[in-house]
Amino acid sequence: MRQRLASVVSSSLASLVTLLMLVAVSSHAQVSLDSGGAAQGQASRGQDSIAEQEEGVAETPGQAEEELEQQFQLGEPGIAGVLIDRTITMTGKTFFRQFSQLSLARPIISEANLAVYERPSARWGSQVWITLDNQVVFEATMPPRLSDVDDYVEVAIEQVEQRVIRKSILQALDNDPDLADEEI
């Protein structure tokens, strides 16, 4: 019982010291531990700003925003090249696996955000569709045989690539600064 209590106390003390260190780093203060393990802090905000001004590192009000924009300049906001698997059956999983492997070789498709969905049916097989920005770009009803999946994947790759190219051309031609992009 005493060992467990000692371990809980030591872990909570370590967490407290870590928290104090994080607060010190975020507020430019110096924290040190004395011989008893207590934290002693000293704020040095004024000294840091003087040192920055002497080194020529002082920033103007708009400079920080400009640097952030330069660091994170993206063609579009968000993440590009995401492929989401929403399939259920073995046929759907095989379709997705082959589609994702072939799409990595195509630079046009590898930069698009796609989702592969499946609706299984005992009577007709699996209905598979692929969406690009919430718009269906490919749809097919596949039989349950795994041997036919390769043909469907080839057709899907070609059709999705054509739709991605068409969408990027339309966006380039229809670039109106007064209109916002479509949201998810």
Token pair 């070789």: residue: 105
**Length of the chain measured in residues:** 184
Taken in order 144, 147, 151, 153, the sign of the CA dihedral is: positive
Average pLDDT over residues 29-51: 47
Helix 90-104 / helix 149-173 crossing angle, nearest 10 deg: 50
Residue 114 near residue 79 (C-beta atoms within 8 A): no
Q: Is the pTM of this model over 0.75?
A: no
Taken in order 59, 62, 68, 69, the sign of the CA dihedral is: negative
Average pLDDT over residues 111-124: 92
Burial of 145 (0-12, 13-18, 19+ CB in 10 A): exposed
Residue 122 predicted with pLDDT over 70: yes
Whole-number Cα distances in Å, 72 to 60, 67, 78, 129, 159: 19, 9, 11, 33, 32
Residue 160 predicted with pLDDT over 60: yes
Bridge partner list, 139: 129
The per-residue pLDDT for 173 is 83
Residue 25 predicted with pLDDT over 90: no
The per-residue pLDDT for 5 is 43
The per-residue pLDDT for 144 is 86
Count the neighbouring beta carbons within 10 Å of the beta carbon of residue 87.
Answer: 21
The per-residue pLDDT for 136 is 96
% of the chain at pLDDT higher than 70: 54
- Give the range among 2-6, 58-62, 111-115, 138-142 with minimum mean pLDDT: 2-6
